[in-house]
Structure 1
């Protein structure tokens, strides 16, 4: 399988390798995002021991002993180490004079079967491994475990790591590289529906069209993603049925705490722990208007694109899909609604493009903060919304993001300029940025060409 993206992460690992001294890297991220594939790419040409832990209790020590004995040249005649301390000492000896990469993948499974293993690794980092040439990598998919038991200040391993990589889903631009040859608009929709998760994208067939790919992935009982979000929730959380209700409510328009409570029947005062767990897993996100830290305007949105697609379309029609009517469901209810689904999807893609512009110094200056804003228009007594509000040292940027086939016209630009007056930022030096799916009207196009305060990008031409 070809390797796509992950250039920065691979460069970080190679940098650690070149140091030729003890290094300890923590890699974590949601399931299926490509952590193991990244590690395998990194160690493919290196002296290494790679072990994937399992939920098999004491068998982990036996299986890991076999790998260490092989590296020592003992084959099947080596011992099963009496404990991890002894095994890790043997690993340290292997790395005394030459570089060795030692990977424990799915580390949370190993830690579950041996409660004191993090303290043992702490002792090795402080003593036996400290002056070795070992590059230790601990990798895990359980986000809560890795953050609380490996990275947090309460962990025995706190302060020992020399680098950490949180592996996130692909950006649209990485997905575009992986699906090169497909129509760009189709790639954008697939990217949003899969959440950019590398494993899910690997099941996309570049030789068939968008409709058939979505049907094959989501709308057949044998589809790779037909039950994937439900399975992930079952692996990560207790009482998954409660979380299903909450995600379903948010995916279908309930964004405020009280709305979620009304749709699910869960008292609003009891929602917080469930919402916080979903935020921790990066399935949903909590948003407040730009310039606010918290308050009554807090809303929740589904962050993970695969969960958003699944809970908006698939779960609702699950029985019909099992009855082999998935293609009919897609043609009648889903295909025509994809532009609405892509409203949020394109917003995320536009944000990635905006970040790219910022990195490449293609904005009026360096932007230090940005997000969505919504708030009161006291003149018209209604709420206004700005898709992207950004600030630099001495300027502000107001952005509109539109995924639709019609040209972005002057009336829409005027609306953006008008509602920008109510945003809580300094407006003495304001710019306006537009991201549209297709084209701009001739009037807007002329302004973009002649007025440096008006900036415009077309997905069809510029992304």
Structure 2
């Protein structure tokens, strides 16, 4: 077993997947694809793998094909210590030579930032496919070729549809941000409220702590406001412009103004197709393309309404972008004039409403996804949100956390749990009564709600009355429970 280096935080599953791919016994070259949004530590992880196994690592840069070939040849020469007799004319020369260098034992051959190469050499995936198939140079090689990149639309397309490399990969690894619990440990935060407030801004992106704020974490809750001012709202901090760069770095985004407007619509609570279109002054059919592009870039996610077929909402998956669109973008001029303290004081209510509230709901859904079987009676098959229509009052009941069991043929869908999440509100009987009403309405609609657990999630706590009167089948989940390892106690 190739041990994970001590300096690599977490990423145990990713490391096991990579080691398993490198170590398997096939006697021919194999292909793996590693992707993930920028700043998640993909390169850090793959460089560590190459060092631990004696593998080859090449990080591509934006360059012409000729220069990329020259840089690649130089890197390969340094690794093999064998100078090239004839310079590579193109990648048709480079890849057969590469595969021939690895015949003795399986080792990783990492090509990082692969989209930089394929952008100027569109035939590159086809060349790799040719060398991996029977008769290709990869059949006499033990290389474990790992293609890595952050351009999600490009990397996702490598193995999709009729792409040349479809069906060739033995590993498809997406490096995700740290979970909210892992992020708290990574930042060294033990106060659950402070940890979640920080997560609402920087999420689980590891680079933001080490590279962007030089390890500066808020000392305690009293330091949080000052931390926001001296980091993300500080024009001298690399974090200040990061949200803009995340959008600009995606090659498929050619009209940044339109895409920022779409993101701003979502960040301010306009999460349906029609709501987004109305906010930016376009027809619904005119925003389908930017929504699809943002989704393929893994910057937004389309989440279905679990109770209404064909209905869905969009959510920004990068917290820093939500914070930028809701807080920073409209006050950009003031921030550039060093008025961070005044801007934060004025926008803090907006932060609580448009950033903290929706983010807390998403974290509660993440909690439900990972819940132990004891909490809901069985492991969840699907977790999301939904809206229940109440014909008697002509209103809609929004359910923040819906937990569904697996669907079985000819049986009603079982609802394991209905939950409401409030970040800044001490929860009383109101949310509990809405959940109970929704449960009854869903039963009428044909759902199985006999064992449905009603769950109240709060970042501010619960009234003594709700604690005292909570019934069997109800759970109260506060911040301590969100960050605890075990399930919350039934009430």
TM-score, structure 2 length as denominator?
A: 0.86
SS of residue matched to 1:460: helix
Is 1:438–1:460's contact at 8 Å kept on the other side of the alignment? no
**C-alpha deviations, 1:380-431, integer Å up to 9, x for none?**
111111111222255531112221252x333432222122223352223322
Question: Counterpart of 1:23?
Answer: 30
**C-alpha deviations, 1:328-350, integer Å up to 9, x for none?**
11123226743652111111221
**C-alpha deviations, 1:183-217, integer Å up to 9, x for none?**
33222111121232222233251264322322233
Using the alignment, how far apart are the partners of 2:299 and 2:90 within structure 1?
38
Question: Counterpart of 2:488?
Answer: none
The 1:392/1:461 distance shift into structure 2, 3 A limit, reads closer
Q: Is residue 188 from structure 1 mapped to residue 196 from structure 2 by the alignment?
A: yes
Is 2:177–2:205's contact at 8 Å kept on the other side of the alignment? yes
Is 1:4–1:178's contact at 8 Å kept on the other side of the alignment? yes
Question: Counterpart of 2:208?
Answer: 200
Is 1:409–1:440's contact at 8 Å kept on the other side of the alignment? yes
Question: Counterpart of 1:138?
Answer: 147
**C-alpha deviations, 1:44-77, integer Å up to 9, x for none?**
21111111112211111111111222232225x7
SS of residue matched to 1:165: strand
**C-alpha deviations, 1:123-154, integer Å up to 9, x for none?**
22113223532111001111111112x11121
Is 1:398–1:433's contact at 8 Å kept on the other side of the alignment? yes
Question: Counterpart of 2:440?
Answer: 421
List aligned pairs for 1:39-54, cutoff 5 A. 39-54=46-61
Is 2:267–2:354's contact at 8 Å kept on the other side of the alignment? no
Is 1:61–1:81's contact at 8 Å kept on the other side of the alignment? yes
Question: Counterpart of 1:62?
Answer: 70
Q: Which runs of 4+ in 1 moved over 6 A?
A: none
SS of residue matched to 1:330: helix
Task: State the 1:439 CA deviation.
Answer: 3.4
- What are structure 2's unaligned runs of at least 5 residues? 1-5, 407-413, 484-491
Is 1:434–1:455's contact at 8 Å kept on the other side of the alignment? yes
Q: Quick one: which of 343, 356, 373 aligns to 1:342?
A: 356
Q: Is residue 259 from structure 1 mapped to residue 275 from structure 2 by the alignment?
A: yes
Using the alignment, how far apart are the partners of 1:395 and 1:246 within structure 2?
33
The 1:446/1:420 distance shift into structure 2, 3 A limit, reads same
The 1:240/1:210 distance shift into structure 2, 3 A limit, reads same
Using the alignment, how far apart are the partners of 2:275 and 2:45 within structure 1?
41
Q: Quick one: which of 378, 399, 402 aligns to 1:389?
A: 402
The 1:278/1:401 distance shift into structure 2, 3 A limit, reads same
Is 2:386–2:398's contact at 8 Å kept on the other side of the alignment? yes
Task: State the 1:78 CA deviation.
Answer: 5.5
| Alignment coverage as a number of residue pairs | 455
- What are structure 1's unaligned runs of at least 5 residues? none
Question: Counterpart of 1:90?
Answer: 97
The 1:120/1:459 distance shift into structure 2, 3 A limit, reads same
Question: Counterpart of 2:256?
Answer: 240
Question: Counterpart of 1:159?
Answer: 167
CA RMSD of aligned residues (A): 2.3
Q: Is residue 353 from structure 1 mapped to residue 353 from structure 2 by the alignment?
A: no
